[in-house]
Amino acid sequence: MSPERRFLDLLEDIPVGLFVSRPDGTILAANKTLASILRCPNREILLRCKATDFYEDPRDREKFLNILRSRGVVQGFEARLRCFNGQVIYAALSARYYRQEDEEVLSGIIQDLTTLAKARKELAQSEEKFRLITETAPEAIFGFDLKKKIIFWNPSAEKLFGFRTEEVMEKEWPSLLLEDPQADESFVCGRPVELRLKRKTGETFVGEIFFSPTAEIEEEKVTFAFVRDITWRKELEREWAQKEKIEALKLMARGFLHDFNNLFFLLKGQLEMASLHPEKAPLIIERLKEISGRLENLLEGLALFAGLKAAAKQPVEIVPLLQEITRLVLYGSQIECIMDSPAEELIVWGDKSQLAQLFQNLVINARQALQDAGKMEIRIRKVGREEASSLGLESRDFVEIMIKDYGPGIPKERLARIFEPYFSTKEEGTGLGLAIASEVVKSHHGYIKVTSEEGSYTAFWIYLPLWSPS
């Protein structure tokens, strides 16, 4: 087969329609692909048709010819064509105009744009929906690229922050909108984050931001942020927390007076005994020391709840502190304690005496649950930023402390109140130990939770932010 023949065969099957025609529409030549595009059964039938028959709007044909005659060439002229079977398609025509043997001739190609036109229409509809949603949404919405530069800003964002669209475009959003520009390091996609934001006026407010997954739009990676002002909600939460704290203090005050009266009568009784039996003074002094120690613990608990005891914070190494507290509290018991701790230093910025009290209360709680015999487990480990985020904590490093006893467990209906002052699951309990433990954790910007299964175990999980010299 000659090269010319191969070339002609190639033209038959290329994915665009080829044609040669006259200005009056007579089709002189066409390839198989054009017959397929125009839904003709075969090329022979196509050659018996006129090009003018395929234009749905005859004015498109006139416009096409006028451009061709004036310029000699047309590229990408779009028109609606009615096919042989009546179907309407979108097509792009490119052609050249020339004279051959005193005859005007057009030669060119036709591309079927139906799929592309459909995609364009769907894209336009999608863009219109996006515009309507974002322009009418009550939440402030802005989009930013991988360099954190703002590339989208809706009307609600203008209203919330006070910046017009032209004032924010291409500016880095953390430095523009965050009170602390470094705070964006803690953001997690798919989870709302509460941060202090700032308006154009410099006024700050508490905002809740939700970040979408990063998507590719027009070859650019974009993340959308949905923002709402939750200052009013935080105020309500503060008022409610204050109300709850007042109620807790009232309850605690009643319990405190009850405990104080008991200790007072014990103290009074020992003093009366000392006056009646001077020979028992050494024994009475020991009892008085014990009573004064209990009174001191009671007063410390009250001071902690009332916020009267200032924390003396410093770097505190958790593992040795917890090991020492556990050894002292379990001394003399028949409890088997399995402790799993890493070799690395895990340091928090905290008040050592308060942290010691936290661990002491939790280990005492375990000892009492086991009634001085049984098995308990203590596990200490580092939790990295990603895992912390997955647990619903801040995106930073924490130390996780689990204190678990394999005792009788706690009924489900009592778990929700476990950290309330003067609520105890034990008949002999004061109800202050776990309440104080919870307050200590909160004052160290940490988290505490409890899990339990009746007849099986109780586990307390404490998360404290790790500290490093840097």
123 inside domain = no
DSSP state for residue 374 in the 8-state scheme:
E
pLDDT of residue 426: 53
Do 110 and 47 reside in the same domain of the chain? yes
Do 157 and 201 reside in the same domain of the chain? yes
Give the range of the structural domain holding residue 271, as residue numbers without chain letter. Answer: 235-306
Do 148 and 278 reside in the same domain of the chain? no
Counting other chains too, the contacts that 434-437 makes at CB distance below 8 Å and 24 or more residues apart are 434/361, 434/362, 434/365, 435/248, 435/252, 435/301, 435/305, 436/301, 436/304, 436/305, 436/357, 436/358, 436/361, 437/357, 437/358, 437/361, 437/362
Do 426 and 321 reside in the same domain of the chain? yes
Q: Please give the helix or strand (H or E) that residue 304 lies within, else none.
A: helix 281-306
124 inside domain = no
93 inside domain = yes
Do 331 and 456 reside in the same domain of the chain? yes
Do 338 and 242 reside in the same domain of the chain? no
* Angle formed by the axes of helices 433-443 and 281-306, nearest 10°: 50
Amino acid identity of residue 14, one-letter, is I
pLDDT of residue 308: 46
Amino acid identity of residue 123, one-letter, is L
Instruction: Say which CATH number the domain at 354 has.
Output: 3.30.565.10
pLDDT of residue 427: 47
Q: What are phi and psi for residue 445, nearest 5 degrees?
A: 60, 35
Of 186, 213, 229, the residue at which a domain comes to its end is 229
62 inside domain = yes
pLDDT of residue 352: 86
CA distance 437 to 426: 17
CA distance 207 to 412: 35
CA distance 46 to 84: 9
23 inside domain = yes
With H, G, I as helix, E, B as strand and everything else as coil, classify residue 225: strand
Instruction: Quote the number of domains for the chain.
Output: 4
Question: Which residues lie closer than 8 Å to 292 by C-beta, 6 or more apart?
Answer: none
336 within 8 A of 375, measured Cβ to Cβ: yes
Do 278 and 211 reside in the same domain of the chain? no
Instruction: Say which CATH number the domain at 155 has.
Output: 3.30.450.20
CA distance 386 to 187: 11
Q: Which tokens belong to 111?
A: 């591309």
Cβ neighbour number for residue 422 with a 10 Å cutoff: 18
With H, G, I as helix, E, B as strand and everything else as coil, classify residue 193: strand
pLDDT of residue 63: 92
Do 52 and 102 reside in the same domain of the chain? yes
**Digitized pLDDT (tens) for each residue of the chain, 470 residues in all:** 445 555 555 677 778 888 888 989 888 888 888 888 899 998 888 888 998 889 999 899 999 999 888 888 998 898 999 999 999 988 989 999 888 777 888 888 998 888 777 777 777 777 677 777 777 788 899 999 999 999 999 999 999 999 999 999 999 999 899 888 776 655 656 678 888 899 999 999 988 898 888 888 777 888 888 998 988 887 887 777 677 666 656 655 666 666 677 677 777 777 777 788 888 778 878 777 777 776 776 676 666 655 545 567 889 999 999 998 888 888 888 999 999 999 888 999 998 888 888 898 899 889 988 988 899 999 999 999 889 888 888 888 999 999 999 999 988 878 877 777 655 555 444 456 788 888 889 889 999 999 999 889 999 999 999 987 76
43 within 8 A of 32, measured Cβ to Cβ: yes
Q: Which tokens belong to 234?
A: 């935080």
pLDDT of residue 428: 47
Cβ neighbour number for residue 379 with a 10 Å cutoff: 16
132 inside domain = no
Q: What are phi and psi for residue 144, nearest 5 degrees?
A: -140, 155
With H, G, I as helix, E, B as strand and everything else as coil, classify residue 328: helix
Q: What are phi and psi for residue 179, nearest 5 degrees?
A: -65, -40
Amino acid identity of residue 449, one-letter, is K
Do 215 and 246 reside in the same domain of the chain? no
354-378 burial: b if 16+ Cβ within 10 Å, else e: bbbbbbbbbbebbbbbbeeebebbb
- β-bridge pairing 373-383 and 334-340: parallel
126 inside domain = no
Cβ neighbour number for residue 427 with a 10 Å cutoff: 5
Of 249, 276, 306, the residue at which a domain comes to its end is 306
Q: Which tokens belong to 83?
A: 């096919």
Cβ neighbour number for residue 385 with a 10 Å cutoff: 16
Do 349 and 455 reside in the same domain of the chain? yes
Of 273, 289, 306, the residue at which a domain comes to its end is 306
Do 360 and 460 reside in the same domain of the chain? yes
247 inside domain = yes
Q: Which tokens belong to 244?
A: 């709850």
What is each CA distance from 466 to 75, 140, 445, in whole angstroms? 66, 34, 11
CA distance 177 to 412: 44
Q: Please give the helix or strand (H or E) that residue 144 lies within, else none.
A: strand 140-144
Do 360 and 390 reside in the same domain of the chain? yes
